[in-house]
Chain A
Amino acid sequence: MLESIPGDPDSVLVLADALQASAVRLGATADAVRGLGPGAVWDGPAGTAFGGQVAALAPLLAAAADRSAGSAAALRAFAPALDRAQAAIARAVDQHLVAERRYAALEEEAYTLLTLGRTELDPEVIVVRQAQCGALAVQTDALATHRAAVADFEAADATCGAALRRASADAIGDSAAYRMVLGASSEGRAQDLISVPGLLLPPVGAAAGVVGAGADAMLAGFWDEGGWDKVAVNIALAGIGSWGKVLKAGALAGSTRTVTRGAQRTSTVTGASMTTRDRLRAGVRAEVDDFTDSLRGGSGKPFLKLSAGESARVTPEFVARQKVPWRVRAAALPDRAREWSRHVAATGREKTILGQWELASAGGTNAKQMYAAGVTLEVSATVTGKVTEQVDEFRAEDRRR
């Protein structure tokens, strides 16, 4: 069976139209922005300030417009070639199939004649054999047509690829590290995270949902995309506790525990100026160390203890299928997890949470948010507010003592 070429020329033209429309819009905005010179439409202190900020975007807008226009042109030229190649290949496939069937039918005919006592030299059998040769010739023609169409497609494909690469050869583009983390976020490719140089290590053998959730945390922390609450909920729903520990360890990085001297309690913090990137890196290192220890004989128990039915329901695949807002997803958390959260609160972890919260607070707002997200993950609560509320309760109780 001859292979066909995937793809859809009509969809390629739709993409080209969308890119062209985007190019026109970006270009028009770049022109409008350039036209905001002194006194053009908005003269005054506010206009000057605004014009200055917007003018800085003009080169980026122009580059994006050029990229879109170049890509649109490449696709527009490629679509007819893809259409021709697919049509030629479809004809060749059809021709080949018909000839193949014809040859098989003739073979049946020849077999019948031979079983009736005819020989290969008999005129009737010779006619059948000649017809078979004709069918083979048609198959050969179909193969040649197919090869030529594939070659035409490959040439058009290479030309389009080169044109798209030329269109993309500009100053805009994401870093390789960002793209790898983004890839891991959307597809859960553990290998991609491992290959980000000097950045992080996912838990060994992590499932797709775990890696995706970890990558979400990286995108939120390093590139300011998404919020800690979203990251926390995504990871919690994936049934993972370890990323909560990463965030907590990162939030506490550079801090030492509270020291009590008489009535005086002091916290020593050396990492108040640590960036989120530094904190995440430190958190990942701590978690990897912990994970390595667990391989050497530690407990390594999963944090969420769900029943068999619940565990089966809250899988990464389950989460991935839920195209609903995170609040709705959070509401789907098993009651068992909430019960367990209450159990944790009632069995003496208050002191730890309060002490760590104080240390995280000394590390700055970001460290506090990070810590809250980490605890949120661990106790399966769904919003940062709940954790702060919990800490406030602990603090009040602490004062009473």
Chain B
Amino acid sequence: MTTFRVDADQVAALGAGLADLAVALAGQGEDARADSWALGGGEATAAFEVAVGHWRHERLALARALDSLGAAAATAGAVYVDTEVGVGRSLIGGVQ
């Protein structure tokens, strides 16, 4: 028999956190070339562009993955919370 043991709030919070991180990650480093000016135009400027800008494809892929997992967790967490609340109410005779 399948059993469930879920900290629903934590799952929902994790989902929201992953989705937030996905948004932040998607925008991070998009202006690497413009930002790199601040470093003075030498070796550090070029290295900064590589460090921040040259993993764009990986970064966007990671952001997409986090976004979909975040949405899945947030939805599941919300469902578990609702279920818990519903079951709790029914056990004490409350109205759903």
Contact = CB atoms under 8 A, between A and B. Distances in A.
A178 B57 contact: yes
Interface residues of B, number: 44
Interface string B45-63: 0111011101111111010
Contacts of A168: 47, 50-51, 54
A42 B11 contact: yes
A307 B17 CA distance: 53
Given A32-B17, A45-B2, A8 B43 contact: no
B85 interface: no
A168 B55 CA distance: 9
Main SS class of interface, A: helix
A57 B66 contact: yes
Nearest to B30: A186
B58 A41 contact: no
B44 A174 contact: no
Contacts, number: 143
Given A12-B39, A22-B24, A45-B2, A165 B18 contact: no
B3 interface: yes
A179 B54 CA distance: 7
Interface of A: 5-9, 11-12, 15, 19, 22, 25-26, 29, 32, 36, 39, 41-47, 50, 53-54, 57, 60-61, 64, 67, 70-71, 74-75, 78, 82, 153-154, 157-158, 160-162, 164-165, 167-168, 172-175, 178-179, 182, 223, 225
15 contacts: A5-B40, A11-B38, A32-B17, A41-B14, A42-B76, A44-B4, A57-B66, A60-B58, A71-B48, A153-B40, A157-B39, A161-B42, A164-B50, A168-B47, A223-B57
A7 B56 contact: no
A396 to B, nearest CB: 39
A165 B47 contact: yes
